[in-house]
Structure 1
Amino acid sequence: MTFLQKSLWTLVGIAALFFLWLLLWVDYRFDTARETGNAIQAEFELTDHTGMVRTQDDFAGRWMLVFFGFANCPDVCPTTLAEVAVVVDTLGDDADKVQPLFVSIYPERDTPVALANYVPMFDADIIGLTGTPDQIERTARNFPIFYEKIEEAAAPDGYTMAHTSHLLLFGPDADFVTTWAYGTPAEAILADLRELLP
């Protein structure tokens, strides 16, 4: 094995460990909030993909399915949003009780126009949200989620965005309810929602 191959395998290993740490960190944060009774609230002021400023108050009384990602994401984001679309479609008459939100962690590229070209592809009334880098940073702290720009030679621009890959559920009062790890099938999410929805 050449030095280059060893180096690449080392980088793959580091990336895998980082991803595992990210999953555990998210689970820890939400588990701690549950155990201590410190409620995590969905709090944000962002611009949607039609150019309208939105806050959590716009969705009062509805359940919010929230996912953080970016429009150029090659796999995790489109897969999760496709699952969300299946969930919302399968909810039938209960679909109007749930609002799916896609929050960009890459506002430099994900403008309202870019999100307007992206989120409608999933056909589930998903609202894309973006803002200034400061607004996104504050929103990420509030939820709380993780994101970071990472150099990656194989990526189109030489970098990609690492981010929390969990789908988050907030109740009609904007309080955190539960989370699903990346890869949770739509059927499992749907079953959980059916138990929670009145």
Structure 2
Amino acid sequence: MNGAVRQLIVYIAGGLGLVAITLFIGWWQVDGPGRAIDPYSVASQSLPLPFYEMNFQLTDHSGRTHPKDWIGRPTLVFFGFTYCPDVCPTTLSNISGWLEELGDKTSPIQAVFITVDPERDTVQVMADYVSNFHTAITGYSGSAGQTLKAAESFRVTYKRVTVDESYTMNHSASVFVYNANGEFVTTIDQHEPPGVAVQKIRRVL
């Protein structure tokens, strides 16, 4: 075997190895043990409930909604608030980008944005806010009690923090992915690459 052939074989083997590693990393993050679960929002021993086991009511611009109303379509759920300076608008922009990348396959997907700050985020405020993002995103508000019940159903935690003479909200930043049967499938972490996020959404289409 001459040197040129040997060098070609080495290049091919190296290329195949790189492809194998890339595929493994993708599997690990999307379907394998490495799929993202935000420890701030999802307790290690307690996953979010399916929609049909949830019992709370929120309101969007069209009226009151029960989680069971979301069954029948793949759903993305995110908790945040309109006064959020960076994480929330960034995540909603990311969701918009993922849905745009999916193109025509986006039509069955609904994206739910639930405020953890109902004191300031009225239904109209939420409707105006989400109008800046993808049309599949709907904003929901509710009483303090219903908001807490919603957060508990998704195993989300949030906390009001005083800042000067005002306040902000600490909250989780994961996006919850549900299938059309209303069952929790996985989460998307805010730091995951867009390609990984889109692959996770494709799992429920």
Query: What is the TM-score normalised by the length of structure 1?
Result: 0.77
Match of 2:50 among 41, 64, 70: 41
Where 1:121 maps in the other structure, the secondary structure is coil
Give the deviation of 1:108 after TM superposition.
Answer: 0.6
Give the deviation of 1:77 after TM superposition.
Answer: 0.2
Aligned to 1:133: 144
Give the deviation of 1:187 after TM superposition.
Answer: 2.2
Tell me if 1:26 matches 2:41.
Answer: yes
Aligned to 1:197: 204
Tell me if 1:118 matches 2:129.
Answer: yes
Q: Mind listing any 5+ residue stretches in structure 1 that lack a counterpart?
A: 1-22
Q: Mind listing any 5+ residue stretches in structure 2 that lack a counterpart?
A: 1-37
Q: Deviations over 1:23-67 (max 9, x none)?
A: 53434x1x4246xxxx6223342101x141112222222111000
The 3 A distance-change label for structure 1 pair 189 and 109 is same
Give the deviation of 1:193 after TM superposition.
Answer: 1.9
Segments of 4+ moved more than 4 angstroms: none
2:177 & 2:127 partners in 1: Cα distance?
Answer: 23
2:40 & 2:95 partners in 1: Cα distance?
Answer: 23
Higher helix share: 1
**Aligned residues: percent identity?**
32
Tell me if 1:75 matches 2:86.
Answer: yes
The 3 A distance-change label for structure 1 pair 81 and 25 is closer
How much is the aligned-residue C-alpha RMSD, in angstroms? Answer: 1.8
Q: Report how many residues are paired.
A: 165
Give the deviation of 1:80 after TM superposition.
Answer: 0.3
Choose 1 or 2 for highest CA Rg. Answer: 2
Aligned to 1:90: 101
Query: What is the TM-score normalised by the length of structure 2?
Result: 0.74
